[in-house]
Every structure is written in C-alpha cells, then in structure tokens.
Amino acid sequence: MTTLSAENATDQPAPTPAETSRKPKPRGRDIRAGYAFLAPWLLGFFLLTAGPMVASLYLAFTKYNLFGAPEWIGVANFTRLLADPDYLKAWQVTGVYVLIGTPVKLIAALAVAMLLNTKYRGKSFYRSAFYAPSLVGASVSIAIVWKAMFIDRGPVDTVQQFFGFPAGGWVGQPERTMPMLVLLTVWQFGAPMVIFLAGLKQVPAELYEAAACDGAGPWRRFTTITVPMLSPVLFFNLLLETIHAFQIFNSAYIISSGTGGPARSTLFYTLYLYFRGFRDFQMGYASAMAWVLVVVIGIVTVIFFRSSKLWVHYSGESR
C-alpha cells in the first residue's frame, strides 16, 4: 500500500473570514447619483408633508387666526372639542357613513368581481365599464352631476314619480342625504373590484371542484373557499376603504353647497374641520381636530391589524 506524503499533497490555504465577507462597495459616484434621484421625493416629503405636519402639531396647542402670531394655550383646543356639539355631530355623521358606506361598497365590489370572474364574451368591455367611475375618483365634477341627478324634478325624481313614489328630490331632505352619499361611494367600487378580481384569479379551481364533488352548494363553497382564500385581499380593501371613508370631503361639500346641511346631515368631520379653519379662521382649533382624526385612524388601523390574526388566512400559514 502506498501513501501520499505531505510533500506531494496540494492543499490550498483556506480563505480568511475577512476575504469571504469582503464585498464590492458602491462607488461614491453611484451614491451621489442615487441621492440625486431621491432629492425630488425627499424635498417634497420634508417641505410638503413632514414640515406641515410638525407645524400643525404646534398650532394645535395655540390660538391662531391665520393673520396674527400664534398664541400658546396648551391643551385648551382639545378640551374644547368635547364641549362642541357640532364636533360631536360631525363624528356621528362620519361614523354612520363609514359603518354603512364601506361594507356596502365592498359587498358590491366583491359581487361584481365574482360575476366578472366567469367565462363570458366581451369581458374586457365590462371590466372597463365597471372600473370607469373609479378613474374620476371623488372629483368635484362627479359630485355636481350626482347632485343634479337627485335634485327636485331631476332624473331620479322623475323615475320615482313614474313608479308612484312621492316627488321632492333627495337634496335638501336630511333623511335622504346620507343614502345619496352612500350610493355615490358605492357607485365608485371599481378599485376594490379590480383587487378582488385579481385575488379570485389566484384561488385554485381544484378546490371548487373537490367541494362540488363532496356536495357543497354555491353558498357553502363561497363561505368555506372563496372568503378564506380572499381574506388577505378583503383585509386590504377593508382597511383602505375605511381610511378613505374617514376623509370624505368633496362630495359632501358640493352636495351640501358648502353648508353641511340640511340640518347638519352632511356635516362630516373633514367638512367641519374646513369650516373651523378657513371659514371661522380658527386654525389652532382645526389643527387639533386634524390630529385627533390622525390618532383615531391610527387606532382603527391597529385594531384591524390585531383582529386580522383571527380571520385573515395566508397561504402556507399554519393555524
């Protein structure tokens, strides 16, 4: 038997840790180019977002009318909120809108998305048609057209009279303004519909086939397959649409003619904030309202994320 001597071995020296962890570092020119591309966003963020937020936080503790110097008053603006009946009414109107408008909008979006997920001719046209209202968003022009449709002797009023319902229009009647605004937000369900449609495309068809073989009906398949598989998408849409509902302004301002009426039925939170800040020139008070809204939306967001552990199912996650 022959053995190899140490002299005949061709062992290579092992690399040192410093050599193995050494990575090419970006050159200074690349770093400067990266900051140059980021500069417009950074300037916009600090000058148009972060800066005004810090300023409004300071003004929330002051008495400021836009013309004189701010006067520090501590937490007086925040304590005054609880004694303001219009402020409490604004929360009531906004809460009703969020609790009714958001679920109805998502239900309509999911229903249409399920219809569009089937095989049919001209599906591209129908998808575009249902999504078109969302392209204009909550614009002033759409609010003007919507108001014109629901005024006295308008198109909706004419249809009501044809079917025997009393005339008079919806605009100007406190009990009908909220349903009118809810219908407007439901009509613009295109964005969540597209997201739901994308989620439905990811649900394996084998699950429905297996459930059908086991005798599960349409409702059973919807509750045991569609909803659990769509729960992450449902969570995303629910959170996004809830935040948007808290921020309603344009449609309420146009339909109420900038008054919050009739009978304060359209006195939404952001609309009342606008009145206090730019009509009554109580910018300190309006800043306090704005920060309360930020805190409330933050709390709602945290609640959504905490509760999502109970009903949101992610693929591959063990329960």
Q: Say if residue 104's pLDDT is above 90.
A: yes
CA torsion, ordered 11, 17, 18, 22, to nearest 10 deg: 100
CB-CB contact of 70 with 284 (8 Å): yes
**Both tokens of residue 39?**
């500069």
- Looking at residue 7, its pLDDT comes to 47
b/e code 177-216 from CB counts within 10 Å (16+ = b)? bbebbbbbbbebbbbbbbbbbebbeeeeeeebeebeeeeb
Domain-embedded: residue 12: no
Q: Say if residue 304's pLDDT is above 90.
A: yes
Last residue of a domain, one of 72, 99, 132: 72
Q: Say if residue 8's pLDDT is above 90.
A: no
Beta partners for 72?
62
Q: Say if residue 188's pLDDT is above 70.
A: yes
- Among the listed ranges 22-26, 125-129, 177-181, which one has the minimum average pLDDT value? 22-26
CATH number where 142 lies = 1.10.3720.10
Confidence of residue 237 (pLDDT cuts 50, 70, 90): very high
Q: ∠ CA(54), CA(94), CA(88), 5° rounding?
A: 80
CA torsion, ordered 100, 180, 93, 53, to nearest 10 deg: 90
* Phi and psi torsions of 153, nearest 5°: 70, 20
Domain-embedded: residue 177: yes
Position with higher pLDDT, 41 vs 6: 41
CA distance 300 to 20: 48
Residues 68 and 90 in one domain: no
- Looking at residue 140, its pLDDT comes to 83
Domain-embedded: residue 32: yes
- Looking at residue 262, its pLDDT comes to 87
Amino acid letter at 84?
D
Domain-embedded: residue 16: no
Q: Say if residue 224's pLDDT is above 50.
A: yes
Domain-embedded: residue 172: yes
Number of compact structural domains in the chain: 2
Residues 88 and 46 in one domain: no
Last residue of a domain, one of 10, 41, 72: 72
Average pLDDT over residues 56-74: 94
Residues 53 and 188 in one domain: no
Residues 32 and 115 in one domain: no
Amino acid letter at 85?
P
Domain-embedded: residue 41: yes
Residues 151 and 252 in one domain: yes
Domain-embedded: residue 11: no
CA distance 153 to 160: 10
Residues 37 and 165 in one domain: no
**Structural domain of 52:** 27-72
Per residue in 250-298, pLDDT (tens digit) is 999 998 888 888 888 999 999 999 999 999 999 999 999 999 999 999 9
Q: Say if residue 133's pLDDT is above 80.
A: yes
Per residue in 271-280, pLDDT (tens digit) is 999 999 999 9
Q: Say if residue 309's pLDDT is above 50.
A: yes
Average pLDDT over residues 105-121: 91
CB-CB contact of 178 with 252 (8 Å): no
Q: Write the CA distances from 143 to 176, 185, 220, 255, 266, integer angstroms.
A: 16, 10, 40, 7, 13
Residues 42 and 191 in one domain: no
Q: Say if residue 105's pLDDT is above 70.
A: yes
Residues 63 and 103 in one domain: no
Q: What percent of the chain has pLDDT over 70?
A: 90
Residues 132 and 281 in one domain: yes
Beta partners for 62?
72
Domain-embedded: residue 7: no
Average pLDDT over the chain reads 87
CB-CB contact of 268 with 94 (8 Å): yes
Task: Quote the DSSP letter at residue 284.
Answer: H
